Chains A and B, each alone.
Chain A
Amino acid sequence: MKTTVETKLRTSYISIEGRFDAHEVARFREQMDDLLAAGTNQFRVDLSTVNFIDSSALAALVALSRSATTAAGSLEIHNPSAPTQVILELTGLDQALSIIASEESSNSVQAN
């Protein structure tokens, strides 16, 4: 998994590429905890190039959503890839997380 993070004020734009699973979750949580500690409370996570996501990774996103809300912010998931979108729907998490499809997010996911 490759993660890139760009932060502007209190908003972090995070792009995840590849397999997002239990093996990668600890590092992802550490990165997000660091961002929270540095003051980020708006998280925009782009999942357009994630080719596999498992329940550990979904739990990490749910936990991040909670932390962001506690910090008076929010988590938005942008452009989930087709397999990720299927998993979000199968697990019902599309009803609990803020998911923004490609057309809606094309103007908002860029840091610039």
Chain B
Amino acid sequence: MHPSIGELRQHVAELADAVVSANDQLLSLYRLTQFASASLDSNVASQETVEEARSGLGATGVAFISNDPNTSQGHTPMSGTVSSSLLNVAAATTASLPQLIPHHANPAMLAEVRTNSRCYGALVAERDHGPFGTADLKLLDAMASHLALILELSALHEDRVHQAVLQRDYDTASALARAALNRPLPVSTGMELGAASIPARAAGGDFYAAGRSKTGVYVALGDVSGKGLPAALVMTSAISSTHSAFARHPEGDASHTIYDVESQICGYLSETGMFVTMALAHMDLSSGQMEVVNRGQSPVVLATGGQTINIAACGPPLGVVSARLYPAHRWTMSDNDLLFIGSDGCTDQRNASQVSIGESGVSQLVQNAVGQSAQAVVDAVIGAATAFTVEAEQDDDLTAIAIRRRHNRRSSDSH
């Protein structure tokens, strides 16, 4: 039986509507490919996308239900009106495929916003006139994929910004370290000094200081806990405090001088939850009397008479407990005896095989270089530590200072 003219007209009208609808959807897809968010802020980009999706789908409302609390922050990017019941359905769904939502007051559909690596949430659309079809669902899915790519791009951008901020902090910390250590070492007959510091990319807060007393010379080396800008800021404060303590104790007293340093900075250290390991020494140039207070610094090595002796900690780092006096290790330096103080980067830095030089390795390096100048001993240890880590990133500062007694130098030089 042939259809009637009326029925044929009805079919033609339906086909025309379908063609128009398909054309609209093609246009929407075209607009989607042309659409580029002007912002890399994920909330702004999400809002722009739901606006575009609502227009393309001819929906009453479109919303993006994010599953990332940091991204949504309680705000649901929405265009038009989406019923709260649909938002609840979308938030509770675990569907991974785009789907029409049955038994809802208005025609509604949902598509997951997902890339290969991550699911960001769901895009939902609602319409109060006429049902959604399969083509609408595919269009919503395309828009959800588009949004997922924007969010992925946004996350990558935020990560790069974070890295750039970190890099700026590291650069500032390194500049602070270079500026703070840019003081000439004291020069005097009766002793010889050497020092060096190579900051790591994430500067670790190492520092050294040297200064004259009435009778001799002070040397100190410290290491602020932590890395980066906070450690560098504490380090500059510790250096200033150390130099001012040298000046306030011209009599040459290692115990009271390090106590003075700690008194100046312990309040700040306590507030920031940081501490400073430090060894501070004073050598009397005429008698060779050496005083060393070691507050958790390592390695501290005395090279004397063909052997090396590690000088143990006599108290915890500065800032751990309330400032108090700790007695100094005392001995008389013979001619050519050398005291080497290094930062933990010298001992702990690991090579690609996760092996470190260690305390004994540094002692051996000092022993091997002991016949050379104080600066040569420092350079030998830092050079060995640098070479040791040539295949791995230097993740801690390498800092060292050495003082050698040259009691007979003036008389021998004059001959």
Instruction: Point out residues on A near B: beta carbons under 8 Å.
Output: 22, 25, 54-56, 58-60, 62-63, 66, 89-93, 95-96
Contacts and interface: CB of A to CB of B under 8 A. Distances in A.
Nearest to A53: B348
A63 B317 CA distance: 13
B226 A91 contact: no
Interface string B124-138: 000000000000000
B298 A22 contact: no
Interface residues of B, number: 28
B273 A92 contact: no
Contact of A92 (B224, B270, B317, B396): B317
Given A59-B275, A62-B275, A96-B321, A91 B227 contact: no
9 contacts: A22-B227, A55-B225, A59-B273, A63-B273, A89-B312, A90-B298, A91-B317, A92-B294, A93-B320
A95 B316 contact: yes
B273 A95 contact: no
Closest 6 A/B residue pairs (Cβ)? A92-B313, A91-B296, A59-B225, A63-B273, A55-B225, A96-B316
A59 B314 CA distance: 19
Interface in B204-257: 204, 223-227
A56 B296 contact: no
B227 A92 contact: no
A26 B114 CA distance: 30
Contacts of B314: 92
A66 B270 CA distance: 9
B112 interface: no
B351 to A, nearest CB: 14
Interface in B302-331: 312-317, 320-321
Nearest to A92: B313
B274 interface: yes
A25 B225 CA distance: 12
Given A25-B226, A62-B275, A95-B313, 13 more contacts: A55-B275, A55-B344, A58-B225, A59-B275, A66-B270, A66-B273, A90-B312, A91-B296, A91-B313, A91-B316, A92-B294, A93-B296, A93-B316
A95 B315 contact: yes
A59 B313 contact: no
B277 interface: yes
B295 interface: yes
B227 A56 contact: yes
Contacts of B225: 55-56, 58-59
Given A22-B226, A58-B225, A59-B225, A91 B298 contact: yes
Contacts of B396: 54
Contacts of A93: 296, 316-317, 320
Contacts of B294: 92
Contacts of A56: 225-227
Interface string B381-403: 00000000000000010000000
